[in-house]
Amino acid sequence: MLQIGFDIGGTNIKAGVVHDNMKILCKRSVSFPSDEGYQKVAAILAELVRDMAKELNRQISDFQSIGIAAPGSIDAASTMILNAHNLGFHNVPLKAEMNQYFPDTKVYLANDADAAALAELCAGAFRGCKTAVLLTLGTGVGGGVILGGRMFKGGMGHGIELGHMIIQHGGPLCTCGNRGCMESLCSATALIREGRKVIEENIESMIFKQTQGDESLVTAKLVLDCAKEGDSAAYDIFENYVDCLSSAIVSCMSLLDPEVIALGGGVSLAGEFLFEPLRKLTKMKSFFKVDQKIVPAELGNDAGFIGAAMLAGNEEKE
């Protein structure tokens, strides 16, 4: 059987046709149409469906389902995007809109981090797991949980927001309006924020020298690269970052006792420079004092649409 998956982001829409054996038969990426409304997005998705069907010499009826992963909160019935701020979507009936184009095809909708966790279960770092946690460390922090061998959508079906666990009382302001959320402390944006502070305070730092004092040139990768080179100001940022991230992971461990915790997103590309001290500090803080399996996520940018394509199978398990 063939499934179509979409991963809608604020910059790009990724799409792919995935076989039950997890083989990607074709994939696409197009720009997200900012400020044009969800009807335009649905029209783009429909055109992508037709385009991929044509490439594979298939009929629309050959596709078992269409799955859509999107950032933000999804209603309990998995029919509407309640709030996706970076898309400008609020109470958007995307499932019904897609069924206008394909009335005979089942359409599924899920949070993008939840879908990515499902993808890792089907074809990545969580294969064979009953309980696992995915954290995506990018511009924000997303999180997905596997419970009982399937994607967990939250006790009331609203999804989960691990990135908005509060891990530091009175911490930095988060985009959600609270202070001290994991996202405000463990995202790439957090590294950029702290790197810009260094530019203002320490002209001898490598971060300042690499950017010539231009704050717009500060990236999370730059901060991490400077820390790797031994720059003391950058390494202080890195140590604080690992401290915060380990606290968030320990909180997940205490609640769920997961078999595996996988990290995705751009920050995770720092590799063992990040993972080695993170594992040590997590073990030190953990109540259980075990060697927790903390690993890189495996599916990269394809995880969202792969997980979306697998939503039909996840629903059948419920």
Residues 101, 51 within the same domain = yes
Residues 162, 275 within the same domain = yes
Of 120, 133, 113, residue with least CA distance to 257: 133
The pTM assigned to this predicted structure is 0.90
CATH of the domain at 281: 3.30.420.40
Q: Which long-range contacts (CB under 8 A, 24 or more apart) does 44-52 make?
A: 44/13, 45/6, 45/13, 45/15, 45/98, 45/101, 46/98, 46/101, 46/102, 48/6, 48/13, 48/15, 49/4, 49/101, 49/102, 52/4, 52/15, 52/16, 52/17, 52/26, 52/28
Q: Considering its fold, how many domains does the chain have in total?
A: 2
**Per-residue tens of pLDDT for the chain, all 318 residues:** 899 999 998 889 999 999 988 999 999 999 999 888 899 999 999 999 999 999 999 999 999 999 999 988 899 888 999 988 778 889 999 999 999 999 999 999 999 999 999 999 999 999 999 999 999 998 889 899 999 999 998 888 777 889 999 999 999 999 888 999 999 999 999 999 999 999 999 989 999 999 999 999 999 999 999 999 999 999 999 999 999 999 999 999 999 999 999 999 999 999 999 999 999 999 999 998 777 899 999 999 899 999 999 999 877 655
Would you state the pLDDT for residue 317? 59
Residues 151, 115 within the same domain = no
Instruction: Find residue 15's DSSP bridge partners.
Output: 6, 28
Would you state the pLDDT for residue 318? 56
Residues 286, 312 within the same domain = no
Residues 114, 194 within the same domain = no
Residues 107, 160 within the same domain = no
Q: Give the dihedral sign, CA 122/127/131/136.
A: negative
Residues 277, 191 within the same domain = yes
Residues 186, 232 within the same domain = yes
Residues 167, 307 within the same domain = no
Residues 140, 238 within the same domain = yes
Residue range(s) defining the domain that contains residue 7? 2-121+301-317
Residues 81, 144 within the same domain = no
Residues 220, 255 within the same domain = yes
